[in-house]
């Protein structure tokens, strides 16, 4: 692999209270000598930079309609959007995303008691109507998702037939359409293998395999590896894309460093599409769903004010170029890339549980950059705090400004200090000639 810029980070620690984001120019004392993290010994190839949403636009039953600020959405450069009706497809499409349409949600109007096998003719007519309308409009939908979170355990034969009937209708109207399945609620090897066997037996031509991830980011790699093995063992299926079409559990979904851990996991595993999950949240006396307002937890209910998590995805959207190799200790997640032309290095450094040090710690960032020997580099460091400790939405108008300045490269290295990084928080680094 190509040699690249190398960055090493040393975390220092003991139990000392300190300001999570000390004012610029005011050093804080935080723990010392806890962990060492190394970034950038090798280039890992181009950064994928995939950002996907589930619903998150506006409740189709709500009046008046509320839409996320399009400027805020565009600034994230989203790549995927998963919706359940043609109206939301039209709202998402201008952002240049790959759209996925969940057929069952639209058919049942989000009522899980509605079962397609109670009226097969109505189910097939609904699928035909939606697919035909999309074909007439020029084929805006990129992926057809038959059912999100089906209960194979309760009604295995009927659920399987639901997929087959939808598949046959879709193929009769749009033979080249792409179908993703089975979109089960969690990775379950037996269920997914059984569905793939059914697809082979029935001659179903699907284009992507999908499931939801509501566990830990570190579990994703094993699931993706096994999914690829299951597909490879069934040559009839060909090469299938992998979609994690909902991710991040409720207890993590507003924590910036956990969001970073998921983004890093998707980059490492080469998942083709990923979509944030959405949840009900409580804000004072108000309970609302991020499925419709708040863009899956990135904005407040008014769809205008960002939350802390918005700034994580905003920073990730600005990364480009070659992803750098990372060797990090437990409880630390780092995603770094260097741009091919400008040689600007951007890195996201977060502290996520589990961690051996629960208190805030200093992080010394040493960048090994022999190509920049003798140069003076401009740097910025901003903070994304963990503002939703009780899982309650909280606005953050902008990242917390940190140090700015220039640093000299001496003997091929330069060191930056990140002060008092707390659990859940992320620091955004930028370094350029």
Distances (CA, A) of 133 to 96, 136, 207, 357, 377: 20, 5, 21, 56, 55
Q: What is the pLDDT of residues 50-96, one digit of tens each?
A: 999 999 887 777 767 778 999 999 999 999 999 998 888 988 999 99
Counting residues of the chain whose pLDDT is more than 90, the rounded percentage is: 66
Q: What is the pLDDT of residues 214-252, one digit of tens each?
A: 999 999 999 999 999 999 999 999 999 999 999 999 999
Selected residue with higher pLDDT from 152 and 367: 152
Structure tokens at 273: 């599409």
Residue 421's pLDDT band, with cuts at 50, 70 and 90, is: confident
Strand partners, 382: 401, 428
Domain ranges of the chain: 6-47+322-432, 52-317
**What is the gyration radius of the CA atoms in the chain, in angstroms?**
23
Phi, psi of 194 (to 5 degrees): -65, -40
| Mean pLDDT, rounded, of the chain | 87
The answer to whether 401 and 382 are in contact (CB under 8 A) is: yes
| pLDDT mean over 379-397 | 90
**Residue 35, pLDDT score:** 57
- The correct CATH number of 52-317 out of 3.40.718.10, 2.40.50.100, 3.60.21.10, 3.20.20.80 is 3.20.20.80
94: CB partners within 8 A, 6+ apart: none
**Residue 324, pLDDT score:** 87
Q: Which of 337, 301, 297, 299 is nearest to 317 (CA)?
A: 337
Q: What is the pLDDT of residues 325-377, one digit of tens each?
A: 877 767 788 999 999 888 899 999 998 865 556 778 877 777 777 777 788 98
Longest dimension (CA), the chain: 74
Is domain 6-47+322-432 in CATH 2.40.50, yes or no?
Answer: no
193: CB partners within 8 A, 6+ apart: 230
Residue 29's pLDDT band, with cuts at 50, 70 and 90, is: low
| pLDDT mean over 122-128 | 97
């Amino acid at each position: 692999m190509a040699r690249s810029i190398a960055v090493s980070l040393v975390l220092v620690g003991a139990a000392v209270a300190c300001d999570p984001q000390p004012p610029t120019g005011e050093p804080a004392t935080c723990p010392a000598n806890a962990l060492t993290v190394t970034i950038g010994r090798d280039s890992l190839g181009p950064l994928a930079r995939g950002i996907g949403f589930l619903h998150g636009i506006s409740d189709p039953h709500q009046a008046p309609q509320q839409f996320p600020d399009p400027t805020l959405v565009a600034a994230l450069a989203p790549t995927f959007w998963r919706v359940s009706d043609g109206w939301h497809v039209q709202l998402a499409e201008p952002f240049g995303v790959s759209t996925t349409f969940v057929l069952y949600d639209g058919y049942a109007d989000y009522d899980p008691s509605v079962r397609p096998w109670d009226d097969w003719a109505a189910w097939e007519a609904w699928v035909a109507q939606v697919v035909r309308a999309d074909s007439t409009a020029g084929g805006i939908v990129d992926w057809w998702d038959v059912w999100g979170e089906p209960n194979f355990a309760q009604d295995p034969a009927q659920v399987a037939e639901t997929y087959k009937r939808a598949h046959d209708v879709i193929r009769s109207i749009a033979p080249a359409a792409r179908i993703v399945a089975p979109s089960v609620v969690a990775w379950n090897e037996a269920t997914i293998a059984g569905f793939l066997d059914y697809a082979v037996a029935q001659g179903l031509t699907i284009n992507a395999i999908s499931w939801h991830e509501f566990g830990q980011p570190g579990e994703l790699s094993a699931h993706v590896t096994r999914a690829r093995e299951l597909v490879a063992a069934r040559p009839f299926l060909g090469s299938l894309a992998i979609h994690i079409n909902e991710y991040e559990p409720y207890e993590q979904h507003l924590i910036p460093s956990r969001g970073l851990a998921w983004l890093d996991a998707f980059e490492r595993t080469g998942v083709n599409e990923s979509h944030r999950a959405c949840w009900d949240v409580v804000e004072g006396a108000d309970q609302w769903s991020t499925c419709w307002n708040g863009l899956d937890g990135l904005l407040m209910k008014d769809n205008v004010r960002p939350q802390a998590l918005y700034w994580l995805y905003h920073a990730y959207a600005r990364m480009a170029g070659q992803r750098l190799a990372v060797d990090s200790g437990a409880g630390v997640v780092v995603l770094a890339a260097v741009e091919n032309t400008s040689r600007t290095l951007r890195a996201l450094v977060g502290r996520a549980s589990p961690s051996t040090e629960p208190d805030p710690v200093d992080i010394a960032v040493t960048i090994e950059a022999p190509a920049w020997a003798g140069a003076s580099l401009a740097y910025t460091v901003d903070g994304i705090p963990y503002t939703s400790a009780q899982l309650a939405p909280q606005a953050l108008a902008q990242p917390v400004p940190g140090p700015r300045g220039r640093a000299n490269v001496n003997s091929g290295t330069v060191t930056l200090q990140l002060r008092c990084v707390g659990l859940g928080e992320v620091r955004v680094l930028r370094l350029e000639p």
